[in-house]
Chain A
Amino acid sequence: MRHFKSMLIIGLMVFSYSAIAQKLAIVGGTLHTMGEQGSLTDKALLIDEGRIKGIVAKDRVPAGYQQIDANDKIITPGIIGAHTHLGLVEVSSSAGTVDATADNVAFSPLGAALDVSYAINPDSTLMAISRIEGVTSAATGMSSTHTLFQGQGAVISLADVAELNSPLIKSQAFMRLSLNNDGADDNGGSRAALWPLLLSTLNEAQQRDGRPISTNEEWFGNTAKADINALLGVENGTVPLVIEVNRVADIRHVIQLKQQHQQLKLVLVGAAEAWMVATALAENDIAVILDPESNIAYTFDSLGTTLANAGRLSAEGVTVAIGANTHNIRLATQHAGNAVANGLAWMDGLAALTINVAKIYGIDNDYGSLEAGKVADVVIWSADPLEVMSAAEQVFIHGQPIKMQSRQTKLRDRYMADIKTRPARYNRP
């Protein structure tokens, strides 16, 4: 029965996909706007020219809108991958260049000047595999550079590349930094080396007062010019500093850093022991991107890890985002569901996948909620999206219903087909 229903909708979408920039009305169901209007039923979500036009009663859809029946469905903003390497890796191991990793390069000894904007491959199969499951945009950055910073990440759209000139929503959208054991190991082997290096680097950048160093300018700082220039946005708070950190002692140092450099916009990633200082994080406006399934201490710097982390942080008012994965960023919904199973409020679980991520990366004027004027990245779910047996039935990016097809669905369809109807080479038993 489910199968039958979803096929109807998909059929409709394939038809409408061919129409360009049409006006669409998603009618009925439950709309979780993630905005001031909260959750609504018996409404129609109007989409025009790739943006959300507004929400009206479901019997008040204006003329000229193609209506899409979403009765009994759940409608949410598209999922925004909070912490991914999308577009920077196709196959992780022993399969050629992985743009999510880099060797130390001379022009940027601290790694701050690395910029993934030039490395994103919108034709990666991960894009379709992720978007058909409701991931419509994502923050993407580097994983390992063996330097103090892991370069500047971007926020990208997962729209079909043919629809866009560039996948970039925002380049130089954040700066990555590891202050966990890995960060210590890459920077002298000790936090005693890591932290003074970080603090002196930030101080040098701060002294520039926003002025880039030109190539011919004399510069006597310890930090390379390219790195200083890349850090100016971090210093003035326009570029969030996304910090991988787990141990509560390290997190306390991050809180102190924020208190000393009030203008910094700080975001924690991982943050296994963050719950221990939840109040201070909330007071200092430090958001957290976490993995709600983390409850195993792989190192001595995450012994306090618990499934209750998300719920405890959120209860104290910390902005929590969920979705740290790449090939399986599509599982962010399951991760959020597990956070809910362990104490996070359901609506906060959905916010952790949508509006909270948009706020962290400063794109909430355009993304993260179903509100008039915002980009129409929308998902129609079969049921509660945080439930493992639910699925995205139709995804819209920039107001366009996407083809619900990926390399994986094609493989499935090839081998699901009766053996006689497979390609000739495969139809001999």
Chain B
Amino acid sequence: MNRNKHIKRPLLAMLCVAVSTLIACGSEESAKSQAPLVEINKNPFPSSYVPLPSTMTLFTNANILDGVGGHIENGSVLMMDGKIAAIGESVDAPVDAQVIDVKGKWLTPGIIDAHSHLGVYPNPATASHADGNEMTKPVTAQVWAEHSVWPQDPSFDRALAGGVTVLQILPGSANLVGGRSVTVKNLPNRTVQDMKFPDAPYGLKMACGENPKRVYGKKGGPSTRMGNVAGYRQAWADAQNYQRSWDKYYADYKAEKDPKAPKRDLMLDTLAGVLAGDILVHMHCYRADDMGTMLDVMKEFNYQITSFHHAVESYKIADKLADNNVCSAMWADWWGFKMEAYDGIRENIPMVHKAGACAIVHSDSDLGIQRLNQEAAKALGDGQRAGIDISKAEAWQWLSANPAKSLGIFDKTGSLEVGKNADVVLWSADPFSTYAQAEKVYIDGGLAYDRLAPETWPVSDFELGQPGEGDAK
């Protein structure tokens, strides 16, 4: 390496002398000796999200769940410039504010679904739409879910009517490493970049257990759980090697040597991004023992698993999950559709919460995403009947704050705290009731959905000119 460099330098210098009248070869001594620094653009598909126009609005007489455990039974929330400007028992109305007396209806932070495949498995669910699983190799860290998102998926609008303001769209779970996720505002526009949550970190989808071994068992492996784990470990080992080669490149460059940049590898870019702490790991994992193994893989390669998804057996190891600061994103009651989901119980979510671990209610479903509040309500009721004392205000953390934390956006949204994005849902009734419906949904203070104004209901391009266009959905 060094030898090559020493040979090249005089050659370059001679060339410069020979053609100096034709091209500039740099005037400074140090620049002459170094090729331009190769830097990787970490954000080649930047967000072009623009919020809806917003009106300064004061809600009064509201039953407020602030999303961080607080419940104000008759309070006010002020939205200004797309942010929460004030919240409390009583808030003075600024002169220009539109005042909405909600007469005891409930206000909550917008629901954040940490696990969705909207857009990557859009509807109609034709084969030509199935863009969620790159089932060609067990490790496909190089693929990015956003490149599969079809913003015209009508399911975004159904989810909006359920009070979902932000969602993480993940690749599927066929692969050990499925690829990057994308966090979006639930405001479909012409391109996915127009939906991307500004400055949200990337996530990486990984999967434990049955799915990878089923998909690859007869396609070269892995065909077993031990094969799965070998696959993750080799991937991380390769990523460490890649990271070291880039670290060395930058160190050499800084030392004013003229190193050759390592060959760019899109797969290892992403994995190294996890090791650097820039990309958050979201791992599909059902069984307690699978999760236990992954906690050790995490320590072996010194990265953090942000959340286990589905996590049907988290209740068995809730203490370990709390100790390791790993969230569980769970269903209220799904179970039995495969062996690793056989031990699902209704009290999983409250038991994880009780252990002091981070509990998230997620959907993984274009139907479930429409009523995540009901999923939380079921889990809360089951927990209370089992003697776990949790309030509705605490339980709402499962729907907004905790998913926001797991997505690395809690500084921006996930609660009704001053300065946060005004992602707010006005419910027709107590949202822990089957009969409650999201009446108004605000994203960054803009009214994104108004149940009481059918003429404003979103209709995707796909739905135009089709049966049911514009109908109550």
Contact mask B375-403 → A, CB, 8 Å, 1/0?
A: 00110111011110000000000000000
A341, CB-defined interface residue at 8 Å: yes
A416 to B318, CA, bound (A): 11
B125 touches A298 (CB 8 A): yes
B385 touches A94 (CB 8 A): no
- Residues of B near A409 (CB, < 8 A) are 345
- Residues of B near A293 (CB, < 8 A) are 367, 370-371
B468 touches A305 (CB 8 A): yes
Instruction: List the A residue with the shortest CB-CB distance to B472.
Output: A308
A297 to B473, CA, bound (A): 11
A236, CB-defined interface residue at 8 Å: no
A238, CB-defined interface residue at 8 Å: no
B473 touches A327 (CB 8 A): no
Instruction: List the A residue with the shortest CB-CB distance to B435.
Output: A341
B345 touches A412 (CB 8 A): yes
A388 touches B433 (CB 8 A): yes
A126 to B155, CA, bound (A): 31
Which one, A93, A299, A342, contacts B337 given CB within 8 A?
A93
A234 to B259, CA, bound (A): 81
A331 to B371, CA, bound (A): 13
Contact mask B252-263 → A, CB, 8 Å, 1/0?
A: 000000000000
- Residues of B near A341 (CB, < 8 A) are 434-437
Interface segment, one of A13-21, A34-42, A252-260, A332-340: A332-340
The minimal Cβ–Cβ distance linking B430 to chain A, given in whole angstroms, is: 9
Say whether chain A's binding surface is mostly helix, strand, loop, or mixed. Answer: loop
A389, CB-defined interface residue at 8 Å: yes
Instruction: List the B residue with the shortest CB-CB distance to A409.
Output: B345
- Residues of B near A126 (CB, < 8 A) are 336
A293 to B372, CA, bound (A): 13
A154, CB-defined interface residue at 8 Å: no
A282, CB-defined interface residue at 8 Å: no
A305 to B123, CA, bound (A): 12
B319 touches A429 (CB 8 A): yes
Which one, B124, B319, B463, contacts A299 given CB within 8 A?
B124
Would A91 and B381 be within 8 Å (CB), given that A308-B472, A334-B434, A408-B346 are in contact?
no
- Residues of A near B432 (CB, < 8 A) are 388-389
A92, CB-defined interface residue at 8 Å: yes
A12, CB-defined interface residue at 8 Å: no
B420, CB-defined interface residue at 8 Å: no
Number of interface residues of B (CB under 8 A): 53
A352, CB-defined interface residue at 8 Å: no
Within 8 A of A (CB), among B111-131: 123-126
A6, CB-defined interface residue at 8 Å: yes
B351, CB-defined interface residue at 8 Å: yes
Within 8 A of B (CB), among A278-309: 293-300, 303-308
Instruction: List the B residue with the shortest CB-CB distance to A249.
Output: B467
B124 touches A338 (CB 8 A): no
A92 touches B467 (CB 8 A): no
- Residues of A near B333 (CB, < 8 A) are 328, 330-331
B123 touches A388 (CB 8 A): no
B124 touches A298 (CB 8 A): yes
Contact mask B311-351 → A, CB, 8 Å, 1/0?
A: 00001100100000000000001111111001111110001
A90 to B339, CA, bound (A): 9
B435 touches A296 (CB 8 A): no
A3 to B347, CA, bound (A): 14
- Residues of B near A94 (CB, < 8 A) are 210, 214, 338-339
Instruction: List the B residue with the shortest CB-CB distance to A90.
Output: B336
The minimal Cβ–Cβ distance linking A301 to chain B, given in whole angstroms, is: 9
Within 8 A of B (CB), among A31-90: 90
A387 touches B434 (CB 8 A): yes
Name 9 extra pairs, CB < 8 A, besides A307-B473, A412-B345, A416-B351.
Answer: A3-B384, A91-B338, A93-B337, A94-B339, A293-B371, A298-B123, A338-B371, A390-B381, A412-B347
